[in-house]
Structure 1
Amino acid sequence: MDALDTKLNDLFDGKVVRKDLVHRIKKGTNVPTFVLEFLLARYCASDDEAEIQAGMEAVLETLHDNYVRPNEANKAQSKVATKGKYRFIDKVHVNYNEKDRRHWAALENFDSRKVAISEKFYRDHDRLLQGGLWAEVTIAYNEIEDDDYAFYIEDLRPIQLSRFDFDQYCEARQECTRDEWLSFILRTVGLEPSKLSPRLKMHFIARLLPLVEPNFNFIELGPRGTGKSYFFSEFSPYSTLISGGQATSATLFYNNQRRKIGLVGFWDVVAFDEVAGIKVKDPDTIQIMKDFMANGRFSRGVEVIADASMAFVGNLDLSVSQIVNSEVYDLFQPLPKAFDLAIMDRFACYLPGWEMPKNSSEFLTDNYGFITDYLAEAFHYQLKQTNRYEEVSQRIKLGNAVEGRDEKGIKKTVAAFLKILHPSTAPTDEEFEEYVVYAIEARRRVKEQMNKRKSDDEFAKINLSYFDATGNEIVVYCPESKAADATQDPQRKNIHADDDSTPSAARAVIDTPRIVASVAAAKVDVAAVTGTTEPIIEELTEQHFTIHYGATGHSYETIFSPYLEGAKSIEIEDPYIRVTHQIQNFVRFCEAVIKTPSIRRISLITSYDDETDVKEMSERLSELKQSLLEMDIALEITVNEHMHDREVRVDNGWTIKIGRGLDFFQKPDSWFGVGTNDLTLRKCLETKVDIFKR
């Protein structure tokens, strides 16, 4: 242990964990971080290496015996039925059923949506009713045949803090310097601060800002593989990550039919991963989003007020120098077309994702950090209970170019920094100025891009500034665009250009000097220079995302079809194509695949166990094989009793791995409800998807 470790353990005894142990186990398991840390805090709370090794083995044994994996639901249910009861680690949701007039628990990986639960559990733990809670849960078997349920919850212990003392948290913070506290937080995230530059440290802290400041609108765009979505998917149980799919007003904001508030009412942060893939079909959704991002409230038949922050993360496919020196592109390029300037103007902070390092073990820490859930509770408390905006307003002085939304965004960003790094005290003048400079830069990045898009001077005041402690006015620039004329002084587009009165060749000549100047600083798309309008073919890219429990908008076509171009053969490894609903899923998969006309062969490698009705399985797969033959497609079936992996390999080089295989849809509540036939409308189980080129 180094000096920081010793101090952290002294101040927060019982609330810290060695992060290298988390990394070691995390690489071999698909378990949420706070579940691992819960077990490590129980079994590895020691400095003795022998005890730690024994504790690691105990953690792995507990995960093996008690953690329900997505493909082992049937086995888990069988254990309960044969043994009478069994203890599992799983995520538990509780829903009220109007028809039954009672509450039912749904266990995510146990794959049962009708488990009886006592009122005391969801009365004591609100999160069961608000998005679900990871817990150690004892499931018992119901022997009474007349009851309409097979399982009930006998005991439930949350894998989260039951109480949080904010005063104690603040008292311990006062024993630390700012830089020590900053290091504690970075180590909690899993990073070693000594390997990061001061600017990178601020970037990583900025990723946490939406977790502490209500109604904070955040965006980060950059290369793939920099960990943009981790902070919203695994760091805090109070945030939810939406991976692509349709963004509807009923899901996000309010369902008029059910009279039920959407995600913004249950989560501290609603984050959108792969923002370019968001589909907004209902124009009302955008209007409600604008209202909510502006002031945290909206009206949809009823007036709704919520504190949720909105975060958007996605990928840039062009180099930053190419974008900032181009008249054609801007740094908001990946956003959906439905996201207009009014949405962009509501972003308080644009984090430059292109400056973030790729995920690498060289940046990981081997030291102690807070138990993730403890810090998440601290952030949750501050989002709900503290307000630093007025304190910032009294201390900051901004220049004349700072307009209404600029001021609000800058102040909220500084307030969020104070909550994270100075939860109960005021920063020094130097520290406060550091936060102000970062906040102004993050807002200027937003305004520069809007100014490039706008045909008039509405957003032309981009030289945002502040007055320092000595009274000097200081203009803040974004480092990537400071020397880019195309961004600092963009050419105004002719708002009457749509009448085509000027021939395209003439327009190309007029634009040439500006574009040539841009080319001198960076490579620009050939189409921008020549004026040609040839269609741009979007190149397929690798993807790694999570489909969350209850998400809709996903189907075999949306996931697989784009990666089948030119393919003749496809090979599926999935050991769980054996019972009726799994074979039905495989039929739907084949229906999606054969819409690619070049496909001529489908190969299935699967397995079965002692509980499988092999005869029935064989008959149904034979029927499918004959049906495909009539369409001139060969289905080859191989049985491998020892296989466990699930992946799809296409002969054009792409591999698609889904954690749950093809069986990632929830069973419908009714076979006559929406989602029975159209899989994009059916709710999903939680699973990870990895698409990569071999």
Structure 2
Amino acid sequence: MELRDKIIKHFEGKVVRKDLTKLVKGNAVVPTYVLEYLLGQHCASSDDEIVQQGVEKVKDIIKKHFVHRDEAESVKHDILSKGSHRIIDKVSAKLNDKKGVYEAEFSNLGLKRVLISNDVIATHKKLLTSGVWCIINMAYLNGDDSANSPWIIESIKPIQISHIDLDEFKQLRQEFSKDEWIDLLLQSIGLNPEQFTFRSKLLQLTRMVSFCENNYNLIELGPKGTGKSHIYSELSPHGMLISGGEVTQAKLFVNNSNGQIGLVGYWDNVAFDEFAGISKRVDKNLVDTMKNYMANKSFSRGSTPYGATASFSFVGNTMHSLSYMMKHADLFEALPKAYYDTAFLDRIHCYLPGWEVQKLRNELFTDSYGFIVDYLAEVLKDLRKDDYSHLCSKYFDLSESITTRDRTGVLKTFSGLCKIIYPHGECSQEEAREILDFALEGRRRVKNQLVLMDDTFNEVDFSYTSKGEQDVTTVLTFEEKQYPSLVKNQHKVQPTTTEEIPIAVTENIEKKKPALVSGKHVVIAENQKGISYHKLFAPYLEGALKITILDPYVRHFYQVKNVMEFIQMLLSIKPVGEDIDVKLVTKNDDFNETESTERFNLMKDSLDGSGINFEFEYDQSQSFHARSIETDTGWKILLDRGLDIFQAYDFKNPFNLANSIQEERFCKGFEVTYLKDVD
């Protein structure tokens, strides 16, 4: 059964086609969870005709009832002329302490001081914060009481799913494999899982941990355009996204003048957008209160202590490349001075490497089915009550040298990701290891910077052992592996297993061409940069006049393009006056044979006269599976992925560096073995 059919079968009524949101949104500045709430009510079907009718219905609802700011007066006229009218708007409320009543304010309609009943406030306390999207029946009562607003709230309903069955959700999770479930989650946040590697999927899912883990502190710094803040504004009605420069102690914690609790008392996650910026001015007292809250889950203003469970997510843009930060500063260099404080940063549980996240482009978005985000948000909220860190202790023992604060950070990330990927509480040791390695790396990235910034912090051995075994696994951050020469404080960078060869191997290829090359095995990590065909193959292909590429899977455009780039590399090392025969042996299928043959012939024609004689043939034998490169000089290079070593990139953008420089592309995880025929 295809994933699409399985999703609809088990979660009918709780999923929606993600491309429908774009169809109905138009110019309405409304969160995704509002639109999907409506789509879930009217388009919960696999029948295309019913879906289309539902889309038109939702479009009509948005057209008739969503309040655009520039049409506010027209909406008021409708309410006045009809006597009553339903609207969709963002509503907040405040206590008028002089009158002892609550008054509502409408974000788009522009109305203020509209009476709202105490019962509504008691039921929906989030109205007292920065606002909640609601469906409201509004009326107008023309009276003589000039002291009160003539606008009447007849009924109000926050837009969110009222009930979810968590036990059913956990049970249905068992109907999906790990990969199927992760793909469903990626589709639920609007992304196409086919465009992401496993590690890249983990990066996206980690952004969701703040919604299912109490008092979780996450930071993500990276380039612009990677969608860092999108999930915090669109995924859940239980999260609040605010600008990093717009928060105050009164707004975030408690207003001393009236005793009103701030955002941390009402929201599951408070995300700080545009958090970076050296020149930003930040209240030092705010930072001190945040430090205490992030460490102790409590805060005090005046003499009264308060507790809360809200998580913090900090997102911002970096100023420099990863290698520059590692060589000249640290990974927190972009933060305002007040936040560039080791005591504050030590409270961060995980540093998400934003420089590894792909920039958003059209092909990264999905048109397949995913959870209605409001349904997923309610599930994540319910999961905040649970602790899944026991799945770690079931299989592994963390190093005793890991401090309490480091251990807390690791286990919170581990627990959160397990809630998201394994909500039913069942995973194998290897599946748990994948999550643990990622969680250790996220906290190690924080600790490494603290050691650089403050001599009072000591390095920590982020390692663990499997239950009943003696072998120690030490986890390094990706950047430590990628740039070992830039790692400061002289701590040694060792491979995590005996098979993995440090990235320094490829650095040697880059820095100098060895006089003699020898057989070896190289492991390249997922999301690594700095790799090219020249670095991997050139030293072993020099002097070869006949080269055969054996790869049964050269069918799609990008795979043919890989072959062309390989040949371009050969041209760069080809001795003057020599010709090189290159033969590609691959398979075809009924769907791609004509198209592939046309591409190969175009390539052959373009190489005419270049000194590269290109030929191709199809081998349809059942035993043809392995991928390799063979030369007439005796070298055989075994490739578990063939030439398909790079993740998808925006090849349509002529200004994208990854188009012309392979080293700027993210790699898939792959292995290369170099063998020499001694005969």
Fold match by TM threshold 0.5? yes
- Tell me the distance in 1 between the aligned counterparts of 2:417 and 2:193: 17
Secondary structure at the aligned position of 1:35 is classed as helix
Deviation at 1:299, TM superposition (A): 2.5
Match of 1:282 in 2: 283
- Tell me the distance in 1 between the aligned counterparts of 2:379 and 2:244: 29
Whether the 8 Å contact between 1:216 and 1:412 is mirrored in structure 2 is yes
State how 1:458-497 maps to structure 2 within 5 Å. Answer: 458-469=456-467, 470-482=469-481, 484=483, 487-490=486-489
Structure 2 residue 353 is matched with structure 1 residue 352: yes
Whether the 8 Å contact between 1:449 and 1:487 is mirrored in structure 2 is no
Change (3 A) 1:262 1:322: same
Match of 1:30 in 2: 29
Whether the 8 Å contact between 2:233 and 2:241 is mirrored in structure 1 is yes
Amino acid at match of 1:204: Q
Change (3 A) 1:247 1:75: same
- Tell me the distance in 1 between the aligned counterparts of 2:157 and 2:248: 34
Change (3 A) 1:254 1:158: closer
Match of 1:295 in 2: 296
Amino acid at match of 1:70: R
Amino acid at match of 1:208: M
Deviation at 1:294, TM superposition (A): 0.8
CA-to-aligned-CA distance 1:19-63 (integer Å, 9 cap, x gap): 111133346542211121122223323333343333323222221
Whether the 8 Å contact between 2:129 and 2:262 is mirrored in structure 1 is no
Amino acid at match of 1:436: L
- Tell me the distance in 1 between the aligned counterparts of 2:118 and 2:258: 23
CA-to-aligned-CA distance 1:202-249 (integer Å, 9 cap, x gap): 111111111111111100000101000011111111111111324322
State how 1:580-595 maps to structure 2 within 5 Å. Answer: none
- Tell me the distance in 2 between the aligned counterparts of 1:296 and 1:194: 39
Match of 1:626 in 2: none
Match of 1:168 in 2: 168
Match of 2:18 in 1: 19
Whether the 8 Å contact between 1:247 and 1:279 is mirrored in structure 2 is no
TM-score, normalised relative to structure 1: 0.67
Structure 2 residue 322 is matched with structure 1 residue 320: yes
State how 1:183-222 maps to structure 2 within 5 Å. Answer: 183-222=183-222
Instruction: Return the index of the structure with the highest Cα Rg.
Output: 2
- Tell me the distance in 1 between the aligned counterparts of 2:124 and 2:191: 32
Size of the alignment, in residue pairs? 492
Secondary structure at the aligned position of 1:112 is classed as coil
Please report the RMSD computed on the Cα atoms of aligned residues, expressed in angstroms.
Answer: 2.5
Match of 2:649 in 1: none
Match of 1:57 in 2: 56
State how 1:559-574 maps to structure 2 within 5 Å. Answer: none
- Tell me the distance in 2 between the aligned counterparts of 1:187 and 1:180: 11
Identify which of 310, 313, 322 aligns with 2:312: 310
Amino acid at match of 2:287: I
Whether the 8 Å contact between 1:246 and 1:279 is mirrored in structure 2 is no
TM-score, normalised relative to structure 2: 0.68
Amino acid at match of 1:36: L
Structure 2: unaligned runs, 5 residues or longer: 492-507, 513-528, 531-679
Structure 2 residue 237 is matched with structure 1 residue 237: yes
State how 1:279-678 maps to structure 2 within 5 Å. Answer: 279=280, 281-300=282-301, 301-324=303-326, 326=327, 328-339=328-339, 340-383=341-384, 385-390=385-390, 392-393=392-393, 395-454=395-454, 456=455, 458-469=456-467, 470-482=469-481, 484=483, 487-490=486-489
Amino acid at match of 2:185: I
Secondary structure at the aligned position of 1:304 is classed as strand
- Tell me the distance in 2 between the aligned counterparts of 1:124 and 1:293: 28
Match of 2:88 in 1: 89
- Tell me the distance in 2 between the aligned counterparts of 1:170 and 1:63: 34
- Tell me the distance in 2 between the aligned counterparts of 1:491 and 1:428: 36
Structure 1: unaligned runs, 5 residues or longer: 493-516, 524-694
Secondary structure at the aligned position of 2:155 is classed as strand
Change (3 A) 1:468 1:305: same
Amino acid at match of 2:298: R
Deviation at 1:415, TM superposition (A): 0.9
Change (3 A) 1:281 1:176: closer
- Tell me the distance in 2 between the aligned counterparts of 1:298 and 1:280: 22
CA-to-aligned-CA distance 1:330-366 (integer Å, 9 cap, x gap): 1101111112011111111111111111111101111
CA-to-aligned-CA distance 1:584-635 (integer Å, 9 cap, x gap): xxxxxxxxxxxxxxxxxxxxxxxxxxxxxxxxxxxxxxxxxxxxxxxxxxxx
Amino acid at match of 1:269: N
Whether the 8 Å contact between 2:388 and 2:425 is mirrored in structure 1 is no
Whether the 8 Å contact between 2:195 and 2:364 is mirrored in structure 1 is yes
